[in-house]
Amino acid sequence: MACAIRLVDLQIIKAPMLATEGEAVRTSQTGIAAKRGSITDATGTILADSILTYDIAVNQINLRSYVHSETTKENGVEKTKVVGRGPVEAARQLAPLLHMSEAELGGLFLGDSTYTYVKRNVDAVTYREIRALDIYGIEWEATYERTFPNGNVAAPVIGTVNAEGVGSSGMESQFNTLLTGTPGSQQYEIAPNGAIIPGAKKTTVEPVDGGSLQLTLHADLQHLVQDMLDARVEHHKAEWGTVVVEDVTTGEILVMADSESTIPDNANPQPVASVQYTVEPGSVGKVVTFAAALDAGTITPTSVFNVPYSLDLPDAGGPITDFHEHDGETLTATGILAESSNTGTVLVGQTLSNEQRYDMMKAVGFGDLTGVELAGETTGILRPPSEWAGRDQYVSMFGQSYSVSPLQETSFMATIANGGVHIPPRLVKSWTNADGTVETPEEPKPTQAMKADTAQNLMLMMESVVEDHLGTAGAAKVDGYRVGVKTGTADIVVNGQHGIVSTTAGLLPVEAPRLAISVVLYNPKVAYISSDSSAPLFGEVAQASVRNLGIPASTTPATLFPTTPTN
């Protein structure tokens, strides 16, 4: 660590003897380590902290002069005898404390170095035992080691600290200045052999420990979701997965989970997939098309469309088809969304201009940074409509030809749940400065992305995706709660092979929304369709979330729009 103090175990030298022998006196200064601040969750549970440890070292030259003596009393008379000398005796004494062999220690103790590390990160109990031996030539550095009391919980978000004590990824990097303390120092007079002169002037500047950071995450829920995610990634043989849970009224991120998270290690920093990776939203992107059409008044939830299996459009470069072959259907706009019809969505999209759809995408945050407090955030890929040539203008209606981050997708769902008001998501709840003052982030500026009626209708339409017989997300149901979701299965190419991205995003409870949730499984190979993979995981996460957060069950039944025309 950068902040380390070298504390040298020195022999007591009598000042008069120095004067008699004419030995020169010089001044030496050492640093005193400052503790790096802690990172906690929203409830104060510690996610990252620093504990004091010691690096044991040897001055090989001084160790040669070490004499181990013991004093005994016989018949009232004190007698001193030499037990051992030099490196051999020091190795014998230290071997059991350091859990090293005498031969190994002996090799480290021989030579002409004035400072060689023997063992790093020794705990305080062992350090005190070593210090009590008073071995001339054995020295130490007090250091702070980063610890993670909750293991891998939110590890990619927390991030890593390098060997110099500097944050290198995640929150450790983003808030390095806050968390880093100010080292102190100690200046004293020493003799030529390195011994501190007793009674000599000593000047000490105390270190100032770093500030602390409080996140919006909930550690208990985060832990549960990480376990659920890992189990699903393994079951479906996906390459990776991520889950985000957001409080829709505040924009606070309650869960940001990545699969196969490990305890932070600077040698292997982990990306935060929900912020740094992008995917095509697939059919989840259909919700944006419907939002734009509802907002523009070109459709209502019950508008009727004759939906073919295949659409041949002159500039589409080939037919656009539905996932399942059919003879043609008559569906309402709600039915098109519930069944996740590609061709039906194109018919809805054709009631709008490309610019109208693009404006809605931008309004809900696509193509822009969310502003979340993490480095390396991606904007996703959203080209302006002037570049939507040929087929792109159609497939963009159902979530292809552009990409978003899972966090952007979650934020979009939160916008719908919040009456059409877009609130930028955030991960930081507060921080405490080194001087003890507490600060909170600036309140994010909300924007009205869509009309409140549009958002309300969208939620009810998305409820049909779960509850109607045409819906694709029955597996996302949560007992006792009204849930609105949209599933998506997007095509990808991985190493020249066809693959998919399975996504389910939504909100609950529909009648009084509290949470927006997004689930992404990348390239699952077993039961990969979203209705069989990400949708059931959404249901598991939603169930755990409402229980953990104490969100009351729904008190009103679902009132669904018809999915087919009513006579």
Domains of the chain with bracketed CATH: 5-34+51-145+185-209 (3.90.1310), 219-261+271-430+442-549 (3.40.710.10)
> Angle 256-257-258 (CA atoms, 0-180°, nearest 5)?
130
Alpha-carbon distances of 531 from 181, 226, 403, 527, 539, rounded to whole Å: 50, 20, 21, 9, 11
Q: What is the pLDDT of residue 25?
A: 52
Determine how β-strand 5-8 pairs with β-strand 447-448: unpaired
Q: What is the pLDDT of residue 50?
A: 96
30-39, 232-241, 289-298: lowest mean pLDDT where? 30-39
Q: How far apart are CA 402 and CA 354, in angstroms?
A: 14
**CA within 13 Å, CB half, 73:** 3
Tens of pLDDT along 203-221? 788 889 999 999 999 999 9
Question: pLDDT grade, residue 23 (50/70/90)?
Answer: very low
Cβ atoms within 10 Å, residue 395: 21
Question: pLDDT grade, residue 443 (50/70/90)?
Answer: confident
Q: How far apart are CA 93 and CA 102, in angstroms?
A: 9
Listed in sequence order, the residues at least 6 apart from 233 whose beta carbon sits closer than 8 Å to its beta carbon are 240, 241, 259, 260, 521, 524
Tens of pLDDT along 159-198? 999 988 899 999 999 999 999 999 888 787 766 655 556 6
Average pLDDT over residues 230-257: 98
Q: What is the largest CA-CA distance in the chain?
A: 116
Q: What is the pLDDT of residue 11?
A: 40
Q: What is the pLDDT of residue 7?
A: 39
Question: pLDDT grade, residue 292 (50/70/90)?
Answer: very high
Residue 22 confidence (pLDDT) above 90: no
Residue 269 confidence (pLDDT) above 60: yes
Average pLDDT over residues 44-62: 94
Tens of pLDDT along 444-503? 899 999 999 999 999 999 999 999 999 999 999 999 999 999 999 999 988 888 999 999
